[in-house]
Amino acid sequence: MNPDLSLLAATSDFLLLGLFVVIGLLLLAFFIFFAKYFSLWLQAYMSNAHIDPLTLIFMGLRQVNPRTIVDAKIMAVQAGVGTDPQTGITTRRLEAHFLAGGDVPRVIHAIVAAHRADIDLDFDRAAAIDLAGRDVLDAVRTSVYPKVIDCPDPGKSSKTTLSAVAKNGVELKIRARVTVRTNLSQLIGGATEETIVARVGEGIITSIGSSDDHLKVMENPDRISKAVLERGLDAHTAFEIVSIDIADIDIGENIGARLQADQAEADTRKAQALAEQRRANAIAHEQEMKAMVAENQAAVILAQAEVPLAMAQAFRDGNLETARQNGSR
């Protein structure tokens, strides 16, 4: 047999074998795709959410859950949101948000809910809110259905009422309810519910403190609400205050009268202390006078004791007799 023909036959067999291997690999890949991704691709295709079959395979290689992306894309297309191929909800953007650790289904649910409620919320803002750690779906629901916050919040504070004192000294104990809705434009970086509760509590205490009489506050509790709302307490927060309602008002202590009584008692003690001090000073002065009298009496006695000594000295010196003669003359 011709060696050239044998080499040619061997080469042909090798090429044929390689072709069979390639065809087998393609068939295997097609089988894997058909078994794992065909149902997803068909579901997306029938839902007008066109996704390239190779994209589904690459998702698996990138550790992206294809089911999550396909369901999100179908939901967005069927809801009629994000259909712009450049700025809308594309497969690539969904994958990027998934790889960044975001909750893709929750973001799509939030966008659909905002679209139904005619709230301006695009994919970029929703994804940013989700990646910031905020619950974007709950934020949209709160925008549609405002929620009520107790002030003070019994779940986060041991106090159940706010305590404020009017100018006449009477304490009022108040419990308020604040209705808020989410401000999506300030949700990222905006203050939370705790700030709203603190600001509302401060505003209520300030409004009551500026009232001349507690009876005026009890007659018109809505004056407090209006005064607090006019202060713009929701600035730089993630919420917009819809209303502030005074749920309950109770009269506490008459702190002004108690303070006056305490002041009177303090003044009495001060006066008693001053009187005791004056009494002690008088007693000390009296003792000083007695000491001076005793000292003067001692001086008189000493002077009287010197008289006999002087007379004796005069007798000895003869001065006393001379004085008598001069006197008789």
Residue that the structure tokens 């919040």 belong to: 153
In the predicted model, is pLDDT for residue 257 greater than 80?
no
Residue extents of the structural domains in the chain: 25-144, 147-258
Supply the mean pLDDT for the chain.
Answer: 80
pLDDT at 292: 87
Q: Are 37 and 69 in contact (CB under 8 A)?
A: no
- At residue 107 the predicted structure's pLDDT band, cuts being 50, 70 and 90, is very high
Please compute the mean of the pLDDT values over residues 32-47 and round it to a whole number: 75
Q: Span 235-260, mean pLDDT?
A: 80
How far is Cα 99 from Cα 89, in angstroms, rounded to an integer? 15
Residue 282's φ and ψ, nearest 5 degrees, are -65, -40
CA pair distance 283, 155, nearest whole angstrom = 65
Could you tell me if 233 and 196 are in contact, meaning their C-beta atoms sit under 8 angstroms apart?
yes
Helix, strand, or coil here: 116? helix
Query: Does the bond joining 152 to the residue before it have cis omega, within 30 degrees of 0?
Result: yes
Q: Return the higher-pLDDT residue of 316 and 55.
A: 55
d(Cα 204, Cα 208) in Å, to the nearest integer? 6
* The two three-digit tokens of residue 207, written as one number: 């409004």
pLDDT per residue over 64-99, tens digit each?
888 888 888 888 888 888 666 555 788 888 988 999
CA dihedral for 298, 304, 308, 311, sign (positive or negative): positive
Looking up tokens 């996704």, which residue turns up?
A: 51
Is residue 180 packed enough to be buried (19+ CB in 10 Å), middle (13-18) or exposed (0-12)? buried
Q: What is the pTM of this model?
A: 0.61
Quick one: which of 151, 139, 92 has its CA closest to 111?
139
Return all residues near 180 (Cβ < 8 A) that are at least 6 apart. 142, 146, 147, 149, 193, 196, 234, 239, 240, 241, 242
Residue 252 is predicted with a pLDDT of: 77
CA gap 285, 277 in Å, rounded:
12
Mean of pLDDT values over 95-115? 90
- CATH superfamily name and code, 147-258: Band 7 domain (3.30.479.30)
**What confidence score (pLDDT) does residue 77 get?**
86
- Helix/strand/coil for 214: helix
- Taking only the tens place, the pLDDT of each residue in 129-171 is 888 888 888 888 888 888 888 888 777 777 788 888 888 888 8
Give the C-alpha separation, 207 to 167, whole Å. 11
